Amino acid sequence: MRKVIRGCLLLSIAMLAAPVALAQTWPTKPVRFINPFPAGGGVDVFARPIAAKLTPALGQQVIVENLSGAGGTVGAATASRAPADGYTFFMGAVHHAIAETLYTKLPYNIEKSFAAVTVVAFVPNAVIVHPKHPFRSLSELISFAKANPDKLNFGSAGNGTAHHLAGELFETTTNTHLVHIPFKGAGPMMSDLLGGQVDMAFDTLATSGQHVKSGKLRALAVTTAKRSPLLPDVPTMAEAGVPNYVLSTWYAMWAIGGTPKPIADRVHGEVLKVLASPEVREISANQGAESGGMSRAEFAGFLHDEILAWGKVVKAAGAKIDI
């Protein structure tokens, strides 16, 4: 009997020690971050510095791989099929919460196919216009749009992205009609916005803030409840005459569903250290962003709430995408 008890005790100790040993030996080869948007977009702004700082922390190179298409769903689908061995992670955004109700059929489920790690940043959106237009206030833009239906276009990072739904929400809230022009990411959209081929966008300050500060673009309002410290003179939507319009873009990291918990936990801890570093805090400040850092459980709950909230916007807009 003593031998049986001793054997069971040793087995229990070994089982408890196994996860610790796994986290200590991993990784033994490069780690891949899949970014479902082109280089130069909002996800890239945070994915690349995080990857650079995780490389020495993990002792293996962390590589960012851009796989864009279909509003970020192509990269998400690819990531969902990756082995759950801790060598592939997914860097996505609010767009993936929106996609759950916007797309009639997805080859993955953001809550079931992935394991939450954490939100890395919250970034305000803003109503951005090219300076070729004379609008100096949001009310001027709305008046023009009402008098000239479908004369103004707005660009987005793709169908189903936050940029797209922000525009749809704007139309239903202000009773205006705009023409939506989807791109394969915020980077390509920004190029055409800067060139004047796109009239306006509901873009994040992560990609447009620097251009607003330089005068290449004009911000008429931010979509958050409070003004952004990056552009303190730009009013909120409520201050600009559009109450009850509040939204922001967030960027986040997921592990592949089934990834060993010790590995996902270790990455979570390392990412929180990176987010607290002076270099990444400066990057966030330059983008007008608020750093993330939720626990894994908090992020999972937040994601579920976001899917429900954006589902209401999708329903109100009557938007659906078939893939």
Distances (CA, A) of 122 to 42, 88, 223, 273, 316: 11, 23, 12, 17, 24
Residue-number span of the structural domain to which 262 is assigned: 12-122+251-317
Cα-to-chain-centroid distance, residue 237: 21
Share of the chain above pLDDT 90, in %: 69
323 pLDDT tier (thresholds 50, 70, 90) = low
- The predicted model gives 141-147 an average pLDDT of 98
CATH number at residue 160: 3.40.190.10
Q: Mean pLDDT over all residues of the chain?
A: 90
Same domain, 117 and 40: yes
- The predicted model gives 155-182 an average pLDDT of 91
Tell me which of 207, 222, 237 is where a domain ends.
Answer: 222
Same domain, 25 and 95: yes
Task: Choose among 295, 40, 23, 28: nearest CA to 186.
Answer: 40
Task: Name 125's bridge partners.
Answer: 204
Cα gap 55→49, rounded to integer Å: 10
pLDDT for 141 beyond 50: yes
Same domain, 20 and 35: yes
Same domain, 70 and 104: yes
Assigned domain for 4 exists = no
Share of the chain above pLDDT 70, in %: 92
pLDDT value for 16: 43
Same domain, 193 and 100: no
Instruction: Provide Rg for the chain, Cα atoms.
Output: 22
CATH number at residue 270: 3.40.190.150
What's the domain count of the chain? 2
pLDDT for 144 beyond 80: yes
Assigned domain for 177 exists = yes
Task: Name 254's bridge partners.
Answer: 90, 116
pLDDT in tens, 202-220: 998 888 888 999 999 999 9
Assigned domain for 323 exists = no
pLDDT for 269 beyond 80: yes
pLDDT value for 13: 46
Cα gap 122→176, rounded to integer Å: 28
* CB neighbour burial string for 165-200, b if at least 16 within 10 angstroms, e if fewer: bbbbbbbeebebebeebbbbbbbbbbebbeeeebbb
Assigned domain for 241 exists = no
- The predicted model gives 52-72 an average pLDDT of 94
Cα 26–Cα 30–Cα 35 angle in degrees, nearest 5: 115
Assigned domain for 2 exists = no
Same domain, 102 and 186: no
Same domain, 81 and 99: yes
Assigned domain for 242 exists = no
Distances (CA, A) of 208 to 165, 233, 239: 18, 16, 21
Same domain, 258 and 113: yes
Assigned domain for 231 exists = no
pLDDT for 247 beyond 90: no
22 pLDDT tier (thresholds 50, 70, 90) = low
6 pLDDT tier (thresholds 50, 70, 90) = low
pLDDT value for 3: 54
What 3-state class would DSSP assign to 255? strand
Same domain, 76 and 169: no
Tell me which of 171, 205, 222 is where a domain ends.
Answer: 222
- The predicted model gives 186-209 an average pLDDT of 92
Cα gap 291→252, rounded to integer Å: 11
Assigned domain for 230 exists = no
Interacting residues of 208 by C-beta distance below 8 A, sequence separation 6+: 126, 128, 190, 193, 201, 217, 219
**Selected residue with higher pLDDT from 14 and 59:** 59
pLDDT for 157 beyond 90: no
pLDDT in tens, 272-290: 999 999 999 998 888 888 8
pLDDT value for 12: 46
Same domain, 260 and 270: yes
1 pLDDT tier (thresholds 50, 70, 90) = low
Tell me which of 205, 222, 239 is where a domain ends.
Answer: 222
pLDDT for 14 beyond 70: no
Same domain, 139 and 49: no
Cα gap 153→197, rounded to integer Å: 9
Same domain, 311 and 265: yes
